Amino acid sequence: MQISDVANVVGVSASTPTKARLVSLPPGSDQSEGVHRAHRTPSSAAVFSPSIGQLPDVIGQGSTGGVFSALSPVINSSGTAFPALPAYRMDITTDLLLPRDVLRLLLKDFFYYIYPLNPIVHEPSFTTDFNNNRDKVDPMFLSLIFAMCTITIISFPRKVQSYCQGQYYNTAIQMAERSHRLALLARPVDYLERLDVTLLSSLYLLSLSAWYSNNTNRGSFYFAELSLALTILERASPSSQFNNPDFSHGFMSSNNLITMELRKRVFWITVVGEISRYSMEGKINLPLFLRYNSAELDQLYLDTAPAEIDDSFITPTTFDFAGARLETKISHMVGFNACSKIHLIYAKYVATCHNDETGVWRSADPEMKRRVLKTFLNDMKAALDWLPDELKLDMRMAEANAGTDADGLPLEIVPWPANATTDGDIYLSMQAFLGRKTLYQTAAELPDGVNIPDPDRHDISYEVQKANLYVTQLYLFSIFLSDYSRVLSDLSTGSNKIKFVNPNDEIDVTHDTDYICRAMLIVMRCIKFEHLEPNGQSIIAKIRIIAAGLLNDIRNDISYGQQPSTPSSTSSFANKARTEAYLVAFLELLNKLAGENNAEDRGWLQGLRNENS
């Protein structure tokens, strides 16, 4: 079901037009959500549909007062007066970024490509509010629109380039910076007193766009602000246990089911972001998950995981599970929750090995470390086995013996075809290339009569989520494998040297490293670039970390990893040439991905000339 099909249904989430005034509400109060939703323009306004990219024309300026009251003037006893201060900048509108017809394309791309990984906006409610010009009377909603545009511009500079045709901005980074500043200017002066989901979503999108544009200081600031806002909401919730250092997560409860689900999604996307940053940087700013021990993390997920149901089946009062079961497509939230589960494995690893009060990891017993790490390695490798078919990739080629594909044919690591573009020429499914000699298949190579249909909204969502899920799994698996290799080295030298009782049950570090490299190349080459781009700098950083291990190997002029644990083990890292082949393939992928993500740094017109030359 497309969003345009439910535009009228979700109208129940919007209250009837009435005159409203701002009231003081405690943080986390149910009434703080949608307190400004009372102002509506006529219901006959044109309907915005991300599915078809339609947005209404300007239908009037709307009300400019009533909800956000100005700060009263100050008059002291001597008669000196200070004028009243406005509650927000009334001159900030979406027209300061782009014309309405171009803005609609950015919002369409957001819901198609960014939303599957960041479903922190209730799409039907947003649609209704946008159609009713809520951005003209609610500055926080306007700020959210600019935040959504910022991350979309950063993620898809080429798409924005095609929309603008060089008419408005010289570079995408110029447009993104303007959108970012408008998002800040649009916020009311008392935005910190309005800790609702609109603000939380805006903060996360702004932090993400900052990280994707390599502005780490700005991204860290917004993310810290988001984490602090969640902490404040939790402390203000009625069920908060002040004598318990852990969150009780009472702030997620709400009489409004839309509010409750969005709070859960924001919480989990923050937790995942914190875990991801910890895995790359080794440090935590405001930990939301490390206060839990390993056993409590599973219960945390069960208690707070978002419902696996699409937005169109969520109203303020009901979940339409019966209607959702009639859909032939699985919910976007299945992939979202799968990402949370993968990161929870790493969180349990950190809680057990690096932050456990019992000191398991600090113990002097390397054998205990080996057993613990082996458990996490097995858990991570099987973390995606349960996925439904829509989100699965066939990884049999990655499990094949070194140098051959699943059918025993030679596996050739080849460069990208010279005539391929990033707009979809490099398209294949795992079923299409099983048994082939190369890891790519252009549209021109398809047999006669075989057409690749344009994917629908859900199919795009699945492809975007596949890239995120499998790259994240392989990246975290490589971290566990690196730690495991170091523990094996400790066990194999000096006084700690041991002989395994059953070597056949031991993990072959070299074989699994080979698997990671092969699997990563398969993932990267069976998903279109436009579905990789929404993952931004995150996917690039993860590939770089894996490639760095190969580079260190070549620098040291040794085979990667440990020797096979059993004589029967086979490994494509038996010689330096194979390691170099993987490294070259990764560098090629990184160059292409990083080049597209940095396209905003050069002039668009010059970039087009360079690409056509």
What is the DSSP code (8-state) at residue 410?
B
Q: Which residues of 242-265 are buried (b: 16+ CB within 10 A; e: fewer)?
A: eeeeebbbbbbbbebbbbbbbbbb
The identity of residue 561, as a single letter, is G
**What span, in angstroms and rounded, lies between the C-alpha atoms of 147 and 202?**
6
Asked if 336 and 387 count as a contact pair (C-beta separation under 8 A), the reply is no
- Is the C-alpha dihedral spanning 25, 30, 32, 37 positive or negative? negative
> Strand, coil or helix: what is 85?
strand
**What span, in angstroms and rounded, lies between the C-alpha atoms of 526 and 428?**
5
Residue 282: Cβ within 10 Å count? 9
Q: How many residues does the chain have?
A: 613
Q: What is the pLDDT of residue 33?
A: 39
Reported as half-sphere exposure (CB side, CA atoms, 13 A), residue 437 has a value of: 3
Phi-psi sector, 282: left (phi>0), alpha (psi -120 to 50), beta: left
Nearest to 426 by CA among 515, 514, 532, 516: 532
**What span, in angstroms and rounded, lies between the C-alpha atoms of 603 and 311?**
38
Q: What is the DSSP track for 9-65?
A: GGGGGSPPP---------TT-GGGTTTTTT----TTSPPPBTTTTB-PPP------S
What angle (nearest 5°) sits at the alpha carbon of residue 293, between those of residues 288 and 296? 85
Beta partners for residue 410, in sequence order: 404
Tokens of 342: 């993968």
* 416-470 pLDDT per residue, tens: 333 433 333 333 332 333 333 333 333 333 333 334 444 578 888 998 999 999 9
Q: What is the pLDDT of residue 529?
A: 77
Domain ranges of the chain: 1-6+48-56+87-194, 383-612
Asked if 67 and 22 count as a contact pair (C-beta separation under 8 A), the reply is yes
Strand extents, DSSP E, 191-343: none
Looking up tokens 């766009």 gives: 209
Residue 558: Cβ within 10 Å count? 12
Asked if 465 and 342 count as a contact pair (C-beta separation under 8 A), the reply is no
H or E stretch at 487 = helix 457-491
Q: What is the pLDDT of residue 275?
A: 87
**What span, in angstroms and rounded, lies between the C-alpha atoms of 576 and 503?**
26
Cα 227 to the center of its chain, rounded Å = 17
Beta partners for residue 442, in sequence order: 426
CA dihedral 526, 530, 535, 539 (to 10 degrees): 50
What angle (nearest 5°) sits at the alpha carbon of residue 486, between those of residues 481 and 491? 120
> Strand, coil or helix: what is 447?
coil
Beta partners for residue 54, in sequence order: 49
What does pTM read for this prediction?
A: 0.74
Tokens of 339: 């990402």
Looking up tokens 């990033």 gives: 422
Q: What is the pLDDT of residue 23?
A: 27
Q: What is the pLDDT of residue 587?
A: 79
Q: Which residues of the chain have pLDDT under 70?
A: 1-74, 76, 79-80, 236-251, 282-292, 354-364, 394-455, 492-506, 550-579, 595-613
Looking up tokens 């997920």 gives: 301
Q: What is the pLDDT of residue 528?
A: 79
Under 8 Å CB-to-CB from 473, ≥6 apart: which residues? 342, 380, 383, 384
Reported as half-sphere exposure (CB side, CA atoms, 13 A), residue 147 has a value of: 28
